[in-house]
Amino acid sequence: MVTPGDVYAARRRMGSWVRRTPFEQSPLLSELTGGEVYLKLENRQLTGSFKIRGASNKIALLTPDERRRGILAASSGNHAQGVAYAARQFGVKAAIVVPGNTPKVKRDAIRALGADLTVHGDEYMEAEHLAQKMSREGGMPFLSPYNDADLIAGQGTVGLEMVEDGPELDTVLVPVSGGGLISGISTVIKAASEAEMIGVQTIASPVMHESIKAGKIIDIPMYNTVAQGLHGGIEQGSVTFPICQRLVNDWIDVKEATIVDALRLMLLRQHEVIEGSGAVGIAALMEDPHRFKGRRVGVVISGGNIDEALLSRIAQ
């Protein structure tokens, strides 16, 4: 299991390119809920998402032999960019497999960072299966986007900064796909306070939530979503599942229409460009604002790599 000490160690070994992102109050969302809402703005992170944190920690821990062989990763986009950037900083060759639903803006960014890019399948798990096959055949380490303790420790630095930079929180809302981000953040937050940890998913792909309810990792039907970064299954035996069982207090599944409304609100009123997966915490506030009345709420905005077509749609 990951410990707060692992998270502190991850921060010490991260490169200077990993930014300490703002954690600031939103008057707009505070007024909406009748509480105090603070935003952790990972959309302002280098590469536009929190993923560079875990990727940097993991690559820093590779042996010299592993670095010589290069690395493989599968991603819906943000993990790939984090891996590609960190690999370039460490002088490591990176090969990335992404599914066909990965936005063009993310594909272009991956190529620009020098990684070898393969597009395969319609959704994330198909891309991951190919990447793992390539890893076995080529002898290159596979960097999971969530199922890795070192990666979770790196993502946990988001929570470390929230504890250090903000007030003591009553509630923390975190976007969830495979659970790496919320596992890392919860490890730190729960060690420092009694804050309620809430995982937020979409009704199109609530795989972790449904698995928690079932008491085991399950497959469920998944549907198209504007939050592509949260779309995908969880591999059996994932280390994130027991962490989520132990540390996450509640779950919210938000509607697609509300995510679009949240993107528009953040763009036009908050003046923040965020992607669909980064907007689900805002959507949760919008769907049930009274739940958060009188509470100090931290909302993790996980990324800002929005597809051009979706950006044009919400800007109208």
Residues 39 and 59 in one domain: no
Domain finish residue from 81, 116, 146: 146
* 106 pLDDT above the threshold of 90: no
Q: Report which DSSP code applies to 77.
A: S
What pLDDT sits at residue 221?
93
Q: What is the pLDDT of residue 307?
A: 87
Helix (H) or strand (E) segment spanning residue 202? strand 196-202
235, amino acid identity: E
Q: How far is CA 169 from the centre of its chain?
A: 20
Tell me the CATH number at 56. 3.40.50.1100
Q: Tell whether 104 and 204 lie within a shared domain.
A: no
**Final residue belonging to a domain, choices 96, 131, 146:** 146
The verdict on 192 and 271 lying in the same domain is yes
For residues 292 and 35, the answer to whether their CB atoms sit within 8 Å is yes
Q: Give the pLDDT band (50/70/90) at residue 172.
A: very high
Domain residues for 137?
A: 51-146
Calculate mean pLDDT across residues 245-252: 98
Domain check: are 174 and 235 in the same one? yes
Q: Which two tokens stand for residue 171?
A: 């509630």
pLDDT at residue number 232: 82
Last residue of a domain, one of 98, 116, 146: 146
Sequence letter at residue 142 = F
Residues 116 and 159 in one domain: no
Handedness of CA 105, 299, 11, 139 (dihedral sign): negative
pLDDT reported for residue 77: 81
**What would the mean pLDDT of 112-128 be, rounded to a whole number?**
90
296 plus 213 within the same structural domain: yes
Name which residue leads in pLDDT, 74 or 105.
Answer: 74
Q: Phi and psi dihedrals of 148, rounded to 5?
A: -160, 125
Q: What is the pLDDT of residue 67?
A: 94
The confidence band for 231, taking pLDDT boundaries of 50, 70 and 90, is confident
pLDDT of amino acid 17:
87
| Judgement on whether residues 123 and 169 belong to the same structural domain of the protein | no
Helix H or strand E segment including 273: none
By DSSP bridging, strand 250-254 and strand 23-25 are unpaired
Confidence band, pLDDT 50/70/90 cuts, at residue 195:
very high
In this predicted structure, what is the pLDDT of residue 105? 81
Do residues 21 and 75 both lie within one domain?
no
Asked if residue 135 and residue 175 are part of one domain, the reply reads: no
The percent of residues in the chain predicted with pLDDT above 70, rounded, is 100
Tally of structural domains, the chain: 2
- The answer on pLDDT for 126 being more than 80 is yes
Write phi, then psi, for 191 (nearest 5 degrees): -75, -20
Q: CB-based contacts of 288: which residues, under 8 Å, 6+ apart?
A: 252
Which of helix, strand or coil describes residue 194?
Answer: coil
pLDDT at 123: 81
pLDDT at 316 over 80: no
Q: Encode pLDDT of 256-313 as tens digits.
A: 999 999 999 999 999 999 999 999 999 999 999 999 999 999 999 999 999 888 999 8
Q: Does 174 share its domain with 278?
A: yes
What sections of 193-298 are H helices per DSSP?
207-214, 240-247, 256-265, 280-287
138/259 same-domain check: no
Work out the number of other CB atoms within 10 angstroms of the CB of residue 251: 19
Helix (H) or strand (E) holding 306: none
Are 67 and 133 members of one domain?
A: yes
pLDDT value at 10 more than 90: yes
Q: Which two tokens stand for residue 151?
A: 């990666």
Highest averaged pLDDT of the listed ranges 6-20, 91-105, 248-262:
248-262
